[in-house]
């Protein structure tokens, strides 16, 4: 990967901010399996709800890509990226998929942009719109919001699972009460989600996205036709194995998917994260 390809990652690390700990850092939550030294036993059996389903509740963070993998992927650009030192957002603290969903593909094998999407991308670049939405205090979008360092919390209740995303104080509602997906949804940043259990795996279908957010830091676009399917399986107390499938026939020539693991942030919580709070780079509003 050439040096020019590292620029989106430098921007991504420099513009995002994250907090690895929460308001109740090291508060020993009740009911957690623990080892003899008092630490949460991350290899213990996954908990279950009263209904007998795996309980996904907890504070989670995506497993980061190891430094050696980054070094292999970025080549000469690694040293430049490693110099970025944003708290909780170092090069070894993010997933490679937050940077580029297609990073594992060999050149020429990745899903190609359709001509209409290529034209729209050229137009955005010409208009100076090729930048992260977070620069304008807009949502980062999904899944990039949970593929970076900020943590997220899952709250599982009968008929509804809520995902609280630390980045921007955002949330997703995943309805598991049997309702169908909306047929003509108003486009939104995070879409409309329904879930169903397939044995011990929660399968989430989401439609109704807008076309304003990027899928990753490499500026891969999405359209309102995007249909996303997520699978979550809590392997044990401390790990959730997840797969995200993307099917956007208006933008890409074929569907694609990624697999990640989320790590439990035991005895912790999410922080309030407000865009532009204490921000000093942006100039004053017009007329001031």
Consecutive 10-residue runs of the chain (288 residues): their mean pLDDT? 48 50 68 92 96 96 91 74 53 85 92 92 85 85 84 96 92 97 95 97 98 92 97 98 98 97 93 68 48
pTM: 0.86
Calpha distance 211→188 (Å, rounded): 9
User: Which residues partner with 205 through β-bridges?
Assistant: 194, 229
Nearest-5° Cα angle at 262, 268 to 13:
85
Question: Tens digit of pLDDT for each residue in 10-32?
Answer: 555 555 544 444 456 677 888 89
Backbone angles phi, psi at 54, to 5 degrees: -60, 140
The two structure tokens encoding residue 155: 């709250």
Residue with the two structure tokens 């955002």? 170
Question: Tens digit of pLDDT for each residue in 152-209?
Answer: 999 999 999 999 998 888 999 999 999 999 999 999 999 999 999 999 999 999 999 9
The two structure tokens encoding residue 186: 């108003």
The two structure tokens encoding residue 265: 């942030």
Calpha distance 90→15 (Å, rounded): 12
């Amino acid at each position: 990967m050439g040096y020019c390809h590292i620029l989106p990652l430098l921007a991504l690390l420099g513009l995002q901010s994250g907090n690895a700990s929460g308001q109740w850092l090291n508060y020993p939550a009740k009911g957690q399996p623990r080892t003899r030294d008092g630490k949460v036993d991350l290899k213990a059996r996954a908990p279950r709800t009263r209904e007998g389903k795996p309980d996904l509740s907890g504070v989670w963070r995506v497993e980061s890509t190891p430094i050696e993998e980054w070094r292999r992927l970025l080549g000469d650009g690694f040293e430049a990226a490693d110099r970025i030192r944003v708290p909780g957002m170092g090069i070894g603290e993010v997933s490679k998929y937050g940077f580029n969903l297609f990073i594992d593909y060999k050149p020429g094998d990745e899903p190609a942009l359709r001509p209409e999407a290529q034209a729209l991308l050229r137009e955005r670049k010409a208009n100076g719109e090729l930048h992260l939405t977070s620069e304008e205090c807009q949502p980062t979008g999904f899944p990039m919001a949970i593929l970076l360092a900020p943590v997220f919390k899952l709250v599982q209740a009968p008929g509804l699972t809520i995902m609280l995303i630390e980045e921007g104080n955002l949330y997703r509602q995943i309805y598991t009460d049997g309702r169908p997906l909306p047929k003509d949804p108003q486009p939104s940043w995070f879409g409309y989600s329904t879930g169903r259990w397939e044995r011990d795996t929660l399968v989430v279908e989401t439609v109704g996205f807008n076309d304003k957010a990027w899928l990753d830091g490499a500026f891969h676009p999405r359209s309102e036709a995007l249909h996303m399917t997520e699978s979550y399986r809590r392997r044990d107390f401390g790990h959730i194995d997840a797969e995200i499938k993307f099917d956007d026939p208006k933008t890409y020539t074929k569907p694609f998917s990624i697999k990640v693991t989320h790590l439990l942030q035991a005895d912790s919580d999410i922080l309030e994260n407000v865009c532009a709070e204490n921000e000093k780079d942006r100039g004053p509003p017009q007329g001031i």
